[in-house]
Amino acid sequence: MFSERLNRLIPYVPGEQPKDQQYLKLNTNENPFPPPQAVADFIQKFDYERLRLYPDPTFDKLRRKMSEVYGVRPGQVFICNGSDEGLSFCFYTFFDKKRGRVLFPRHTYSFYPVYCDFYELEYRRIPLAPDFSIDIAPYLAQKPSTGIIFPNPNAPTGVLLGLDRIEALLKDYPDDRVVIIDEAYIDFGGRSALELLVKYKNLVIVRTFSKAFSMAGLRLGYVFAGEPLIDALFKVKDSFNSYPVNMFAQDLACTALDNIGAFRANNIRIMENRDWLTEKLMELGWETLPSAANFIFTRKPGCRGRDIYTGLKERGILVRHFQLPGIEDFLRITVGRKDDMDVLLVELKDF
């Protein structure tokens, strides 16, 4: 009854979304702040009768809005049903087994190997530097490869790679292979690679409304790249599903972009809470990596990550733990509101 392909699938496991009890949820990097009032107003005024119609398959209005806000041409924008879908399309579009392996960091977003398996691509995980940053040298030394992908800042470490390093990578990497920067967390203090788009035709930037825009439930992502690459993504989209992004999400995103300042104000608060939390944890003897994201990656020397994860869960706090060699004692903790961080610190003091 089932295909052989299906038998080989190993799906991605998202962070727990528990339904049994109320937790302080610091495990999936959701934004602790609701979207601004303009979003509520949009929802109130949305003309439900329009739902009869199909949404715009080429996202014209939203791409024009993106173009105004981000200073790119509309033809350099692709819209997708969450950035996960955009990433999946990118793997299909740009990576080819015949041209070598896909390269990504040893510790990174765990969906990348899942997409590789799905599209029957080979990959190599490149070790992080001892300080958990991304070292570009081994990516260039690996030959041949079909492309490179990593988040910036990286997940689950939160560590940012400087734009100078990204440019050094693009300079020395073959220009007929793509470098994909997954900028899911770039709005929490990092510098975007967007400005490099004019110079590097093989650069692809993937973004999302899930984290910095407080709308993980909306399922909306976007991709910036040169026109030929964006056209190729449309070709793939139109071979899977002509209408992956619903009308409501497309219009709501326009409203969100009109009010981008309000989102930024929330994200500045998150960054302040992050820096405050990092400092407090360091005082308590927790080794905490420098984060440019809305989460921190931290460990307490002498304590097992698994035990702390379980202990916190018993006390109603959910964080993310990865049982993987090299990071098994770290916890990834989403930065929340200040009072939530106070509650967290009280519990962490016990370890």
Which residues would be at the binding site for ligand PLP (CB under 6 A)?
Answer: 82-84, 109, 151, 155, 182, 184, 208, 210, 216, 221
Across 176-212, b (16+ Cβ under 10 Å) vs e yields ebbbbbbbbbbbbbbebbbebbeebebbbbbbbbbbb
How many Cα atoms within 13 Å fall on the side-chain side of residue 70?
28
Beta bridge partners of 150: 181
Q: Provide the minimum distance between the beta carbon of 207 and ligand PLP in the complex, in angstroms, as a whole number.
A: 8
CA distance 141 to 159: 22
Strands (E), the chain: 24-25, 77-80, 101-105, 123-126, 145-151, 178-182, 203-208, 221-224, 287-288, 295-299, 317-318, 320-321, 331-334
Helix (H, G, I), strand (E, B) or coil at 305: helix
Q: What is 90-122 written as a DSSP string?
A: HHHHH--GGG-EEEEESSS-THHHHHHHHTT--
Helix (H, G, I), strand (E, B) or coil at 230: helix
Q: Which helix (H) or strand (E) holds 236?
A: helix 227-240
CB 224 within 8 A of CB 77: yes
Collect all residues with Cβ–Cβ distance below 8 Å to 37 and sequence separation of at least 6: 262
Residue 10's nearest CA partner among 94, 96, 120, 101 is: 120
State which residue, 85 or 329, has the beta carbon closest to ligand PLP: 85
State which residue, 322 or 351, has the beta carbon closest to ligand PLP: 322
Q: Provide the minimum distance between the beta carbon of 80 and ligand PLP in the complex, in angstroms, as a whole number.
A: 8
Radius of gyration of the chain from its Cα atoms, rounded to whole angstroms:
20
Taking the CA atoms of 171, 97, 182 and 313 in sequence, report the sign of the dihedral they define: negative
State which residue, 236 or 343, has the beta carbon closest to ligand PLP: 236
CA distance 240 to 245: 12
Burial class (CB in 10 A: 0-12, 13-18, 19+), 242: exposed
Q: Provide the minimum distance between the beta carbon of 219 and ligand PLP in the complex, in angstroms, as a whole number.
A: 7
State which residue, 94 or 109, has the beta carbon closest to ligand PLP: 109
Q: Provide the minimum distance between the beta carbon of 220 and ligand PLP in the complex, in angstroms, as a whole number.
A: 7
State which residue, 300 or 332, has the beta carbon closest to ligand PLP: 332
State which residue, 230 or 245, has the beta carbon closest to ligand PLP: 245
Q: Provide the minimum distance between the beta carbon of 333 and ligand PLP in the complex, in angstroms, as a whole number.
A: 14
Q: Provide the minimum distance between the beta carbon of 109 and ligand PLP in the complex, in angstroms, as a whole number.
A: 4
State which residue, 177 or 207, has the beta carbon closest to ligand PLP: 207
State which residue, 170 or 223, has the beta carbon closest to ligand PLP: 223
Q: Provide the minimum distance between the beta carbon of 155 and ligand PLP in the complex, in angstroms, as a whole number.
A: 4
Q: Provide the minimum distance between the beta carbon of 241 and ligand PLP in the complex, in angstroms, as a whole number.
A: 15
Q: What is 262-303 written as a DSSP string?
A: HHHHHHHHHHHHHHHHHHHHHHTT-EE---SSSEEEEE-TTS
State which residue, 217 or 261, has the beta carbon closest to ligand PLP: 217
State which residue, 121 or 149, has the beta carbon closest to ligand PLP: 149
Q: Provide the minimum distance between the beta carbon of 183 and ligand PLP in the complex, in angstroms, as a whole number.
A: 9
Q: Provide the minimum distance between the beta carbon of 272 and ligand PLP in the complex, in angstroms, as a whole number.
A: 21
